[in-house]
Chains A and B, each alone.
Chain A
């Protein structure tokens, strides 16, 4: 199943300062709920994500990297690919960031999408959609929190 979420918010800081924060992969990766970043460079990071929800507890191991990064236009696309432990299937996430000056501050457009295959997607009743929805929401909220907090 695939999900996509758009979120827009404004930050008091300048686009340049915001950009520096947003392109710190350790910070961005760590914002994913349940994520632990185990290593990070300027270009990529590795880590794991533990999704724990009610009766479900699954762990993904994966890596993320920039697939697109335009420091001038303040646009970046980060892709993460997680492989579920115990034959779970895969999960992938794509985050598209776009910053634009707005007044004194910055307007941030964040588009996140997520694909889940395998067992969790078969759990039933669309529950994993709700879960992914929630995870993406928390992720964006965390990013926003880091920038505005």
Chain B
């Protein structure tokens, strides 16, 4: 790979990184795992003046318990998260979704927070994070702020993170005991999701007490299927019972049309796969 020439900085602290961002403005690109930035540099579809590598910042590494939530630092790779007992126990949906990310090499390099800031609607991280009501921890020149996942994704490749800010962690409320399933629809295994359905349900006595459903690649951002979630509550956790609630999941979405499928096809498949994801999440 031969990218255009750029300067490179590897700050040791968040404040150093923020200072560099402030200094270089839109000439700077942040590198965490590099799984989105490097392909673009390789294709020479960008030529940043400086690449700020945040992978050596110790303070944003690690996955920790934070009250009712699990906090995933910006330095954590997909594989770090997959290997985390905290995540397996409390965030089954995220765990399932991450097993579907690309391939082992990418999972060992790419970071969860990097993928969130990249905000590719076809990425597998956005939908579960959105569905699980995560909070995004953003640091900037004015200190730290927290943004709800529902306000985080703005548009295609656009998030609430400003040019002079860094996403330093994502905090995801524990969903201990919830059933979860991520249904990724692809033609070949290493592909971006044609669509993906992230479903988590809490079942009480055979009935769905709570449901959370996120959609991958059904619009210019990850989406939350709130109407489906509401319709599922109180339904028996069986295929027949949830089918109707799930069938209309594509309504009101604006999915892309590309080589893998037209928008109407994606909407149809979303209905089928939401049903399957919910049934699987409910243990069916």
Contact = CB atoms under 8 A, between A and B. Distances in A.
B66 interface: no
Interface in B176-204: 192
Interface string B248-264: 00000000111110000
Interface SS majority for chain B: loop
A56 B258 contact: no
Contact of A131 (B4, B156, B260): B156
Greatest chain A CB density within 10 A among B4, B47, B118 is at B47
Interface stretch (B38-46, B124-132, B267-275): B38-46
B171 interface: no
Greatest chain A CB density within 10 A among B36, B44, B122 is at B44
Contact of A86 (B4, B259, B260): B4
Given A123-B43, A126-B256, A126-B257, A54 B220 contact: no
Given A126-B258, A131-B156, A54 B43 contact: no
Contact of B47 (A57, A119, A134): A57
B257 A123 contact: no
Contact of B40 (A55, A86, A88, A125): A55
B258 to A, nearest CB: 3
A47 interface: no
A111 interface: no
B157 A53 contact: yes
A106 to B, nearest CB: 30
Interface residues on A, range: 20 to 34
B256 A130 contact: yes
Contacts of B229: none
A120 interface: yes
Greatest chain A CB density within 10 A among B43, B48, B119, B158 is at B43
Contacts, number: 64
Nearest to B192: A125
A99 B258 CA distance: 34
A143 B118 CA distance: 30
A56 B45 contact: yes
Interface in A111-149: 119-120, 122-123, 125-127, 129-131, 134
B195 to A, nearest CB: 13
Greatest chain A CB density within 10 A among B118, B256, B260 is at B256
Contacts of A6: none
A12 interface: no
A119 B158 contact: no
A12 B222 CA distance: 38
B26 interface: yes
A125 B258 contact: yes
B156 A53 contact: yes
Contacts of A53: 156-158
A46 B144 CA distance: 43
A119 B4 CA distance: 15
B206 to A, nearest CB: 41
A7 interface: no
A122 B43 CA distance: 9
Cβ-closest 3 pairs across A and B: A54-B157, A126-B258, A55-B40
Interface of A: 52-58, 86-88, 119-120, 122-123, 125-127, 129-131, 134
Interface of B: 4, 26, 29, 36-37, 40, 43-48, 118-120, 122, 155-158, 192, 220, 256-260
